[in-house]
């Protein structure tokens, strides 16, 4: 047996265990996003005047309408992510909201790529993109509904399919 084969065999075991952890990882990503966006959206809904004033300061067009939209998006998509229901679709507006937040509210804090990668909003974008790419995972309503409909789950534990 050569060295390369030995390395492959040694790497196979931890990689197999890592694959088994994918459903838990996706659950943690969803719960982390929900823990941010559900209370944030709830708070914004209950103080729309403050959010509208802030959006006006930032020069966002239609500040009141956008305050309502952002508030409902954060709360609604946060709840969907919490439940793992329509996870891929729910993560997309989070990406859009956080992109606008970086462009409008955080632009002055950016002096290079390192600053961007250190922003909470960018980290939320990355986590949401993971959900868009991988789905809600095994521990989700998406996966439960897929099982009820009789669709087979991928071996990796993803919810799979369209959600």
What is the rounded CA–CA span in Å between residue 162 and residue 142? 9
> pTM (2 decimals)?
0.84
Looking at 2-16, 21-35, 63-77, 119-133, which range is the least confident one? Answer: 2-16
When pLDDT is averaged across residues 44-55 and rounded to a whole number, the result is 98
pLDDT tens-digit map of 77-86: 999 999 999 9
Instruction: Name the percent of the chain lying above pLDDT 70.
Output: 91
Average pLDDT of the chain is 91
What is the rounded CA–CA span in Å between residue 26 and residue 31? 9
Q: Locate the domains of the chain by residue range.
A: 3-148
Give 17 or 95, the one with higher predicted confidence.
95
Give 49 or 8, the one with higher predicted confidence.
49
What is the rounded CA–CA span in Å between residue 141 and residue 12? 31
DSSP state letter for 135: -
């Amino acid at each position: 047996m050569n060295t390369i084969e030995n390395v492959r065999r040694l790497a196979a075991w931890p990689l197999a265990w890592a694959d088994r952890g994918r459903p838990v990882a996706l659950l943690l990503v969803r719960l982390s996003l929900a823990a941010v966006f559900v209370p944030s959206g709830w708070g914004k809904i209950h103080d729309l005047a403050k959010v509208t004033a802030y959006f006006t300061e930032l020069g966002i067009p239609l500040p009141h309408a956008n305050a309502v939209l952002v508030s409902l998006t954060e709360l609604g998509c946060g709840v969907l992510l919490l439940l793992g229901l329509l996870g891929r679709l729910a993560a997309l507006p989070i990406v859009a909201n956080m992109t606008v937040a970086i462009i409008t509210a955080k632009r002055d804090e950016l002096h290079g790529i390192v600053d961007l990668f250190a922003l909470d909003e960018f980290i939320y974008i990355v986590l949401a993109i993971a959900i868009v790419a991988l789905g809600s995972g095994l521990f989700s309503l998406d996966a439960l509904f897929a099982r009820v409909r009789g669709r087979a789950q991928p071996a990796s534990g993803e919810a799979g399919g369209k959600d």
